[in-house]
Structure 1
Amino acid sequence: MNQPQTSNSLFSRLRFVLVGTSHPGNIGAAARAMKTMGFSQLVLVNPRFANATTHEEAVAFASGAVDVLQSARIVETIEEALEGCNFAAALSARLREFSPPVTQPRALAAQLAGEASLNAALVFGSERYGLPNEIIERCNVLINIPANPEYSSLNLAQAVQLLAYEARVAATGEALPVSPIGFQGVAADLGQIEGMYAHLEQALVAVEFLDPSNPKKLMPRLKRLFSRAQLETEEVNILRGIARQIMKKLGQQ
């Protein structure tokens, strides 16, 4: 496989994040799926087995992709897994009431390949429970694979293979470019966005727009609203500045 490995190629910018994986064999198979498509960044969040990357079943299912296993990072939180990313896409067969915008693998792959400023993560849940709402709400988009509605369940490694394939085709083929409207700045990383949400929530409580004892669904709705905007760093700074000025005027800063 002779894919480009420049600093801004999709092969260098895309990581695969597996959350709470139960079966070591699925981790090995996912590593193999990634390597066949030219990807190598694998991050495991709280896998069931502490030796997930060296477990005999993982090594067996990885086949010739043991190097991807050996270089995989094991972390405790999704925050650690997404560190350095400014875009994250969660995979789920179940649509959520307050999910970010829903997209399909091919459209997402074209976007990731077309926007060289995106350092992205594809986030996959556990085999039994999928992804919890709080992780999905942190992501920019929710990937929904258009499968048989009567049986839409994919094995974890199969899902990784499908996404890796679409990403490879978009990176090496003639993917449709994503055309920015006017000036396009640097995409805000997920840590910056989470900080902005916290700051905005404080300001909304201060002006009594948000009742912390009865918050209802205000913050999830706002997160969904902003996730559609694909916020840039400068835009996050503006929103935090507004929140800061509200707090200052109320004498709470």
Structure 2
Amino acid sequence: MNQPDSDTSLFTRLPNRLRFVLVETSRAGNVGSVARAMNTMGFSELVLVAPRCADPLRDPEAIAFASGAIDVLEGARIVGSIAEAPEGSNFAAAVSARLREFSPPVWTPRQFAGHAAAQGELRPALILGNERVGLPNEIVEKCNVLINIPANPAYSSLNLSQAAQVLAYECRMAAIGDSLPETPIGFQGDAASVTQIEGMYAHLEEALVSIGFLNADNPKKLMPRLKRLFSRTQLETEEVNILRGIARQILKR
């Protein structure tokens, strides 16, 4: 698959295309938890179909469980029927732990995510059912695919927000790949030069000889092994200085 230009990357478009639809949700806390799951992965479009809880977008439990994802709750829509939910979408994916005899093709979350990320014109809707009874057959049968999360077969019951989190994560990863954030995390110093590292090795070897850890007349492979060890660390200048400081203190004694 060709990589798109950075200003039109698939991930920058996918949050505007993907919709999460909750059908007849019973607990306002679950609505808030789903909003949080969406927001952590960069998605924001949430639609509630005939929720069974009163005022689910302003309920204190929903706000508490959203844990800061208030913008997702404030932007959510409430509709009266499933027929209204997919408006503007052209691909519907039912999410269920229960497989049906008559159902659309069964996909994993990763298959769905890859398809959604690769098809720039796709406006998919992920449809999740009630916490207790899930989605009715008539809704599943009208969807393009049925998403089944391959959980532990002995205990495959996921909380509504857990299922939403799995799906949101897979969609994000399909869009951005396995790359880490470009912003460096933690301290990063200047890489040590070859001359600095060689000087450190000579200094360290002198210190090891002075304490009898290395036999200068019969060094065997100790220094090559130490060089191999340190070469895997990508030494920085400050780290070389620390090691030379240790060697200096050894030689003083």
TM-score by length of 2: 0.66
Number of the residue aligned with 2:90: 86
SS state at 1:79 partner: coil
SS state at 1:80 partner: coil
Number of the residue aligned with 2:156: 152
Conserved 8 A contact 1:8-1:117:
no
Amino acid at match of 2:175: A
Amino acid at match of 1:129: V
Counterpart CA distance in 2 for 1:43 and 1:65 is: 15
Conserved 8 A contact 2:113-2:174:
yes
Distance 1:78 1:5, change over 3 A: farther
Number of the residue aligned with 2:14: 10
Number of the residue aligned with 1:132: 136
1:4, distance to aligned residue in structure 2 (A): 6.8
Number of the residue aligned with 2:103: 99
Conserved 8 A contact 2:38-2:44:
yes
Number of the residue aligned with 2:243: none
Conserved 8 A contact 1:32-1:64:
yes
Number of the residue aligned with 1:48: 52
How much identity, in percent, do the aligned residues show? 63
Distance 1:60 1:3, change over 3 A: farther
Counterpart CA distance in 2 for 1:135 and 1:113 is: 24
Amino acid at match of 1:72: A
Output one character per residue of 1:147-194: Cα deviation in whole Å (capped at 9) or x when no partner: 10010000000000000000000111169xxxxxxxxxxxxxxxxxxx
Conserved 8 A contact 1:29-1:58:
yes
Number of the residue aligned with 1:111: 115
Match of 1:37 among 29, 41, 47: 41
Conserved 8 A contact 2:11-2:176:
no
SS state at 2:163 partner: helix
Distance 1:54 1:145, change over 3 A: same
SS state at 2:84 partner: helix
Counterpart CA distance in 2 for 1:143 and 1:27 is: 20
Amino acid at match of 2:69: A
Q: Extract structure 1 runs of 4+ deviating beyond 4 A.
A: 2-8
Conserved 8 A contact 2:11-2:172:
no
SS state at 2:20 partner: strand
SS state at 1:25 partner: helix
Amino acid at match of 1:58: A
Q: How does 1:237-252 map to 2 (within 5 A)?
A: none
Amino acid at match of 1:69: L
Gaps of 5+ in 1: 176-253
Amino acid at match of 1:54: R
Cα RMSD between the aligned structures?
A: 2.1
SS state at 2:146 partner: strand
Gaps of 5+ in 2: 1-5, 180-253
Distance 1:3 1:32, change over 3 A: farther
Match of 1:123 among 121, 127, 130: 127
Distance 1:7 1:153, change over 3 A: closer
Conserved 8 A contact 2:10-2:118:
no
Q: When the two structures are aligned, how many residues end up with a matched partner? A: 174
Distance 1:118 1:59, change over 3 A: same
SS state at 2:62 partner: helix
Counterpart CA distance in 1 for 2:100 and 2:53 is: 29
Distance 1:89 1:120, change over 3 A: same
